[in-house]
Amino acid sequence: MYLCVPAESKSINETTKDQPPPVISSTTTSIAESNSSTSKLEDELKVSSRLLKFAFNDLKTATRNFRPESLLGEGGFGCVFKGWIEENGTAPVKPGTGLTVAVKTLNHDGLQGHKEWVAEVNFLGDLIHPNLVKLIGYCIEDDQRLLVYEFMPRGSLENHLFRRALPLPWSIRMKIALGAAKGLAFLHEEAAKTVIYRDFKTSNILLDAEYNAKLSDFGLAKDGPEGDKTHVSTRVMGTYGYAAPEYVMTGHLTSRSDVYSFGVVLLEILTGRRSMDKNRPNGEHNLVEWARPHLGERRRFYKLIDPRLEGHFSIKGAQKAAHLAARCLSRDPKVRPLMSEVVEIMKPLPNLKDMASSSYYFQTVQADRTGSSPNTRNGSNGVRTPAGSFSRNGQQHPRSLSIPNGSHASPYHHQFPSPKPQGKP
């Protein structure tokens, strides 16, 4: 049975006084706009010639009538269903044959609307890269709007970091971070026109069978500044905990805003903690603020590493990743690195073999954590924490800045086999 995980994030209007300062909220697309004629909708689309146009009835058949057993997940946009189509066409085929796809439907009563749907088609219709999810085609019939993507069998990074008993192995974490960085670098520096992603987070990073990362959901993406302009002025939209502080304060959007978001995700990968988690003790709700004191200290960075890894991480790799995260999270956007530089720094990290658990270093770390001798392997409360359990685990979703899209764009919350604790899957 597939899991349907509803979006749990709240609109800025529902936030409380202990959350970030208010920003301009978006309005739901009007009913009249949602019900625009098919011809008017198609006029707004800059449809790439490579995209296929699907008939609604074909997608209905491909997903077995959108039955619950085909449901992969749900978010602000609508529901996503697993389906099967012919390899080089649009006709539905028998489940388990042909090409497996993910079909995303637009919920007209949902939290996202027409503009985001059009942006998704226009951006992913033009952008082709190994680290971007492939949009196969779309469907417009009357008020029906659907998108057809390649199916990502291992779901989202969010699922693997925060919803599974077995932790992702270190090398896989670094591989995913590198792939996601390549996707952003392409958008910023290699695409014909600079694209600012604006919604980089773990739920929007999807994984194929080999744990290759692909960015999904371009509903909030924006074209970068042109000419001598230094930024794009826009309403503040995205997700709390990931958005760059200068963007939240001013509405000035640049590619360095994405770099900040990458730094947050890199921290989540290193720590196994969510960017915002109210279930943790006071002072640890905001991941970035909790981590800052440890990022710049060579002897303290190990406090950041996910304890569920039990020392199965590269010492040198963790140091480099922590230092890189600190640079990406600089309060001064001009100091943050370009994503191409991030990619170069990340390239060797998945293959480093200096595991902490095989050195006296790890024993020292454990002793420092527990306040006991280096030979002690107990947890901070005197009881060892099993590798497959969560300590003070919180399942709270980050809160959205404008569109409540906590898990809307990578709703492939499908029960996949967990990776092996060590090595490649």
In angstroms, the Cα distances linking 161 to 2, 106, 158, 176, 207 are 19, 28, 5, 11, 12
- Give kind and range of the element (H or E) at residue 319: helix 315-328
Q: Are the C-beta atoms of 167 and 421 separated by less than 8 Å? A: yes
Distance CA 180, CA 328 (A): 14
Distance between CA atoms of residues 378 and 380, nearest Å = 7
What is the rounded CA–CA span in Å between residue 408 and residue 80? 9
Q: Which residues, other chains included, contact 290 with Cβ-Cβ below 8 Å and sequence gap of 6+?
A: 283, 284
Alpha-carbon gap, residue 158 to 207, rounded angstroms: 10
Q: Where are the alpha helices (DSSP H) in 22-105?
A: 31-34, 38-44, 56-62
State whether the Cα torsion 320-209-131-71 is positive or negative: negative
> CA 9, 11, 14 angle in degrees (round to 5)?
100
C-alpha triplet 297, 298, 301: angle, nearest 5°: 75
199 carries an active-site annotation: yes
**Separation CA 341–CA 192 (nearest Å):** 19
Q: Number of helices (H) and strands (E), helices first, in the chain?
A: 12, 12
DSSP character string of 145-188 = EEEEEE--TT-BHHHHHHT-SSPPPHHHHHHHHHHHHHHHHIII
Which residue in the list 199, 217, 258, 277 is annotated as catalytic? 199
104 annotated among ligand-binding-site residues: yes
Element (H, E) at 257: helix 255-271
Asked whether the beta carbons of 156 and 83 are under 8 A apart, the reply is no
Are the C-beta atoms of 355 and 311 separated by less than 8 Å?
Answer: yes
Positions marked active-site? 199
Binding residues: 104
Binding residues for ATP: 104
